[in-house]
Structure 1
Amino acid sequence: MENAMSRPEQPGWRWGPFTFRMPFYHTKFHWQEAVQGFFVAAATGLALVPIMTGAFGLSFEEAIAVSMIHSLLIGSALIFFGEPYAPGWITPALPLVLTFVLTGYEDPVSRFQAMTALSLNFAVLLILLGITGLGKKFVIWLPDTLKAGIILGAAIAAVYRVFVGDESSPSILSQQPVSIILACGVCLIFSFSLPLQKLKEKYRAVAMIAALGLLPGFFIAALVGPMVGEIDYDIKWGILFPPVADAFAKMSPFAIGWPSIEMFVQAIPLAVITYVILFGDIVTGNEVIRDGMTKRKDEHIDINPTRTHLSVGIRNGLLGLFAPFFPTQGAMWTGVQVIIVQRWAQGKEAMDSLHSGLISYYMMGIPLLFFLKPLLTGLQPLLYVALALTLMLTAFACAYVAMSIPRNNTSRGTVLLIGAGLAFFDPWTGLALGVIATLVMVGWDRNSDPIPSED
């Protein structure tokens, strides 16, 4: 059997544990991935804009500037740090974070300070666990029921944010009810429907539509929204130069002041909860790559958990200092990772290197999307749809993952209690409730080897 280490690795410039790969020099451009990435990024990368404008006091242009900074940091995982994963948000943590920040703090300044506290807490936690190698031991030590409750809590919080909301942040559905219901229905059906799975196997056209991810839902909302009076397009031409300095002045702790010690303390449980979710993403990414490597014998992919912890930690630290909006800096976007690895596994003719495919998907690190005013203003009326789609797909996926973990009915009921506690109470109360409920109802039911292939 061929030694994996004897395979060549895509070249780059090493710096510490990281590898810098310059686009077009170390990596080739694959237009197939670039086209997909451009349109999917347009559909999902701007989903936070309505929150930043509605609950954090930014203008549309300032929110675009912040989204551009987030996008550049996400792309840096591939270019500057040499990660082999398609980076993305830690999406299941997003509804929990929104509940914590929007219900706990009333003004934009304190909300941004809370986001800074979350990002910096998370960065420190990741760097410490990465350097010491304690990350895997910590996740294995946690009981399965508590982990499932954390994931279900994200699902409940996401559904609550879409359908119910609160005084500080009305429900997303109330903004464009018909468009959002149609878009979410289409995407959920194409993503998860069992009857449709059979049609995808039978009809190529259905499979192609399903492979477009969020775009079919967007398309339906874009068509129906104007008919029902919920969407009004005002497309403007020209080039937008995102006002980065103006956004910095409204959100960076260097401009608005640093979080209080109390904020840092209150944010600790959410950092721990988010880490549990992140670790699951890393394990999933490793298994997707290992499966692809069974077919690609010609390229070695360096899987390095310490590098990943440090990479995500550094990106979250930079985010907290300059454009805080936790948790948009994660390790992996599962759907994109699977799509790219599948084409990479077809052979060198299809994709010369996994790194080339990944960097091409992220437009070689060039944030072209954020400068095109016609595209941005055309998408602006659909951004609430984008946010609702992101949260609802997250809720559905988190719910079925959470419910697949418990091994008995008592554990399933306890998972619901934990999930509700995390979704509706502050993080410390919710996490304390989760620990107590697990101990009293189930016991510390940890799996001693839940990820046997992760090293």
Structure 2
Amino acid sequence: MDHACSAVDAGFFLGGYAPGTEAVHAMLALMICVSVIFLFFAVTGLGEKFHRFVPTVLKAGIIMGAAIAAFQSELDRLETLPVTLVTAWIVVLILMFSIPFKRLKDTKLKVILASNAILVGFIAAAIAGVISGEISFSIEWGIFVPQFGEMIATLTPWGVGFPSFEMIIAALPLALMVYILVFAWSYVDRGSSLYH
């Protein structure tokens, strides 16, 4: 099975497998690849050299592609949750990219809001969604006992087995994109801007 892993839609990789054991194997393959890559770069200290080696345009494309994919997946729900989603988008965009917001004096509140922009967006969306009637919450008190046995049997390599070598190889490009997404901005902060 040939899979194209693209930053524009990582769902191509996981979506190409049948729900159930095959999809769990694909997710395990991705988790194994990501873990090995992170450990390799952490232990060897080659992470910074890798980020210097990857062309700036490619890093920017991966980051932009991931943002487009995330935004695109939300467009499908826009008809049913217009107020909720638009509220979340506006709050997050203001906190992350607004020039007037960045020009405000650095206070403790501003730092907390900016560093938790997505959480603040979720909270604002939840409030707007409840007020507009688009979403509702059913909160019940009680003790939830996780089904650990079922989870181990259906979602772990000890229950469903390890993925095939071919599946692990197919997951490598996406795992490298995950590594770039996670650490690219830390190298931007050090002065190696993606936009030079």
- The bucket for the TM-score relative to the shorter chain is 0.7 to 0.9
Tell whether 2:69 aligns with 1:149.
no
Is 1:187 equivalent to 2:100 in the alignment? Answer: no
Matched positions, count: 189
What displacement does 1:201 show? 2.6
Question: Does 2:20 align with 1:105?
Answer: no
Partner deviation per Cα, 1:300-347 (whole Å, 9 max, x = no partner): xxxxxxxxxxxxxxxxxxxxxxxxxxxxxxxxxxxxxxxxxxxxxxxx
Report whether the alignment pairs 1:210 with 2:117: no
CA separation of 1:127/1:210 partners in 2, compared to 1, >3 Å: closer, same or farther? closer
Q: How much has 1:264 moved relative to structure 2?
A: 1.2
Q: How big is each residue's C-alpha offset from its partner over 1:390-449, in whole Å with a ceiling of 9 and x where there is no partner?
A: xxxxxxxxxxx9xx6344xxxxxxxxxxxxxxxxxxxxxxxxxxxxxxxxxxxxxxxxxx
Q: Which has the higher contact order (CA 8 A, sep 6+)?
A: 2
Q: Given the alignment, which residue of 83, 87, 96 partners 1:178?
A: 83
Alignment-derived partner of residue 13 in structure 1: none
Following superposition of structure 1 onto structure 2, how do residues 337-416 of structure 1 map, counting pairs within 5 Å? 405-407=194-196
CA contact 1:191–1:213 (8 Å) conserved in 2: yes
Counterpart of 1:201 in 2: which secondary structure? coil
CA gap of 1:239–1:116, structure 2 versus 1, over 3 A, is same
Q: Residue by residue, what CA displacement relative to the aligned partner does 1:174-226 show, whole Å, maximum 9, x if unpaired?
A: 5523211112212322332112334x339x79848835634543343333323
Report if aligned partners of 1:209, 1:216 keep a CA contact under 8 Å in 2.
no
1:113–1:258 Cα contact (<8 Å) kept: yes
Normalised by the size of structure 1, how large is the TM-score? 0.36
* Counterpart in the other structure of 1:124: 36
Alpha-carbon contact 2:85-2:125 (below 8 Å) kept: yes
Match for residue 142 of structure 2? 238
> How far does residue 107 in structure 1 lie from its aligned partner after superposition?
0.8
Q: CA deviation at 1:116?
A: 0.6
Tell me the equivalent position of 1:220: 124
State how far apart, in whole Å, the 2-side matches of 1:223 and 1:250 are.
36
SS at match of 2:130: helix
Q: Is 1:252 aligned with 2:156?
A: yes
Pair 1:189–1:119, CA change in 2 (3 A): same
* Separation of aligned partners in 1, 2:112 and 2:40: 43
CA 1:145–1:109 in 2, change beyond 3 Å: closer, same or farther? Answer: same
| Match of residue 334 from structure 1 | none
Unaligned runs of 5+ in 2: 1-5
Question: Gaps (5+ residues) in structure 1?
Answer: 1-92, 164-170, 288-400, 408-455
CA offsets per residue over residues 357-414 of structure 1, 9 Å max, x none? xxxxxxxxxxxxxxxxxxxxxxxxxxxxxxxxxxxxxxxxxxxx9xx6344xxxxxxx
Residue in 1 that maps onto 2:3:
none
Question: CA–CA distance in 2 between the matches of 1:205 and 1:264?
Answer: 44
Q: Secondary structure at the match of 1:238?
A: coil
Equivalent position amino acid for 2:194 in 1: I
Instruction: Please state if 1:196 is matched with 2:109.
Output: no
Answer yes or no: is the 8 Å Cα contact 2:7–2:65 preserved in 1: no
* Alpha-carbon distance in 1 for matches of 2:108, 2:146: 38
Q: Which residue of 2 aligns with 1:276?
A: 180
